[in-house]
């Protein structure tokens, strides 16, 4: 469980000086968080049981919070201390990961399958989230399971969360395949590198391992415009990967074909990352109300490009790319051909737009 600073101090009994720093901790814990996390993990177990018992051929668990950054607790007296400087200083003290994750849903599902399904002897986990599943690797490092295979495809670069996953751990069946971010001059990057690694290394590894169940950590933050695809702490700037919904449909189809070969199609996909894209000027022009006014943010300000005028840095995210990626994933799971969603219709109006926040403020000052 990825404990937050307050829980570390008041529940776990960690000294204040040894707890994670509140100012840079990226995972909050509110009154309903534990219930949501338990329901997310429980839904994965329910899906695993239904698929393993043959009720369904595959399943897609659309859950929040995600889980692949949630690892085990690290103590000084542990025989294996894997906190070796990888990751983000301050986020990982006493708890190996945060990243909005509370419980590691996929690892809970894997252990549930091994414990309760007699014919499931081996489980393979494939993680194609843009960020390394450091929590999943941590659990398998601290508690090795020779009957669990972990494969991760992720962006690996300085300044990209969580900063781990650069090497394999053959002894523990952990295979990391880092991909260069788009802002580098490397040749093997982006969609082409992603597809090449899936074809050349991921599928052969799965075939050789011969799992009885395949679990997928399905993160859609590798989509070209997703905010989770940026360098740590940035809303703008270059992306790490340029995947499209078609890429997610393709990789899901490949994993399903391998599941058909190895384990009678048994595959359970679990949602990890994927957050949406930042609002742009084009969205401001398209997203107009019937009377021509520009749609306002929840705080009542007018969206725009100037943080001082319109608080653009806190504007809500647009979810169309995330929805398209998840829909393509679902199309593949249901054996449908990929159909690109139609573009959103632009709503236009000939009426005079409402005055902007800055103009209205200037008018009030003039009247005063």
Could you report the per-residue pLDDT of 107-145, keeping only the tens digit for each?
999 999 999 999 999 999 999 999 999 889 988 998 899
Share of the chain above pLDDT 70, in %: 70
Q: What is the CATH number of domain 5-280+317-335?
A: 3.40.800.20
Token pair for residue 181? 């971010």
Q: Which residue has the higher pLDDT, 92 or 240?
A: 240
pLDDT at 279: 77
Q: pLDDT digits over 318-333, tens only?
A: 888 899 999 999 999 9
Whole-number Å distance between alpha carbons of 32 and 29 = 8
Whole-number Å distance between alpha carbons of 333 and 338 = 11
Whole-number Å distance between alpha carbons of 101 and 270 = 13
Alpha helices in 210-288 (DSSP H): 245-263, 281-286
- Which of 214-218, 249-253, 343-347 is predicted least confidently? 343-347
Give the confidence band of 83 by pLDDT, cuts at 50, 70, 90.
Answer: very low
345, burial (CB in 10 Å: exposed 0-12, middle 13-18, buried 19+): exposed
Token pair for residue 360? 């209205």
The pTM score is 0.78
Whole-number Å distance between alpha carbons of 125 and 136 = 9
- Which of 90-99, 104-113, 216-225, 311-320 is predicted least confidently? 90-99
Closest listed residue to residue 245, CA positions, set 270, 216, 225: 225
pLDDT at 368: 60
> Residue 214, SS3?
strand
Whole-number Å distance between alpha carbons of 306 and 311 = 7
Q: pLDDT digits over 7-42, tens only?
A: 667 666 777 777 666 655 667 777 888 899 999 999
Average pLDDT over residues 243-272: 97
258 contacts 207 by C-beta, under 8 angstroms: yes
Give the confidence band of 185 by pLDDT, cuts at 50, 70, 90.
Answer: confident
Whole-number Å distance between alpha carbons of 277 and 224 = 9
As beta bridge partners, residue 271 has 218
**Cβ-Cβ contacts under 8 Å for 190 (sequence gap 6 or more):** 179, 182, 241, 242, 243
Determine the angle formed by the axes of helices 245-263 and 190-197, rounding to 10 degrees: 0
Token pair for residue 197? 């690694």
Distance of CA 128 to the CA centre of its chain: 9
CA distances (Å), 333 to each of 17, 59, 180, in order?
A: 48, 8, 28
Strands (E) located in 115-201:
123-127, 148-155, 174-179
Whole-number Å distance between alpha carbons of 104 and 99 = 11
Residue 179 has pLDDT above 90, yes or no: yes
Peptide bond into 19 cis (omega under 30): no
Which residue shows structure tokens 């260069």? 180
């Amino acid at each position: 469980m990825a404990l937050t600073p307050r829980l570390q101090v008041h529940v776990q009994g960690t000294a204040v000086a040894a707890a994670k720093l509140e100012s840079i901790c990226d995972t909050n814990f509110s009154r309903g968080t534990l219930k949501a996390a338990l329901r997310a993990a429980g839904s994965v177990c329910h899906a695993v049981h239904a698929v393993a018992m043959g009720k369904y051929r595959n399943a897609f668990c659309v859950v929040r919070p995600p889980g692949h950054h949630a690892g085990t607790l690290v103590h000084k007296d542990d025989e294996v201390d894997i906190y070796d400087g990888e990751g983000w200083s301050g986020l990982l003290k006493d708890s190996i990961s945060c990243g909005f994750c509370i419980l590691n849903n996929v690892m809970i599902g894997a252990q549930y399958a091994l414990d309760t399904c007699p014919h499931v002897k081996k489980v393979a986990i494939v993680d194609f989230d843009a960020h390394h599943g450091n929590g999943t690797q941590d659990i398998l490092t601290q508690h090795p399971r020779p009957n669990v295979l972990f494969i991760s495809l992720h962006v690996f670069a300085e300044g990209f969360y969580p900063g781990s996953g650069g090497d394999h751990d053959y002894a523990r069946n952990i295979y990391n395949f880092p991909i260069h971010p788009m802002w580098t001059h490397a040749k093997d990057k982006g969609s082409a590198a992603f597809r090449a690694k899936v074809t050349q290394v991921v599928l052969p590894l799965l075939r050789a391992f011969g799992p009885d169940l395949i679990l997928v950590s399905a993160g859609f933050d590798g989509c070209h415009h997703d905010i989770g695809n940026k360098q740590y702490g940035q809303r703008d700037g270059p992306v790490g990967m340029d995947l499209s919904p078609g890429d997610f449909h393709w990789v899901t189809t490949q994993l399903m074909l391998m599941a058909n070969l190895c384990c009678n199609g048994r595959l359970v996909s679990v949602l990890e990352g994927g957050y949406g894209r930042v609002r742009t000027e084009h969205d401001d022009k398209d997203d107009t109300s019937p009377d021509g006014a520009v749609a306002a943010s929840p705080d009542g300000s007018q969206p725009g490009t100037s943080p001082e005028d319109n608080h653009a840095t806190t504007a809500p995210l647009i979810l169309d790319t995330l929805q398209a990626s998840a829909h393509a994933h679902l199309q593949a799971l249901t054996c449908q051909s990929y159909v690109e969603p139609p573009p959103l219709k632009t709503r236009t109006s000939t009426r005079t737009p409402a005055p902007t926040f800055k103009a209205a403020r200037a008018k009030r000052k003039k009247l005063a």
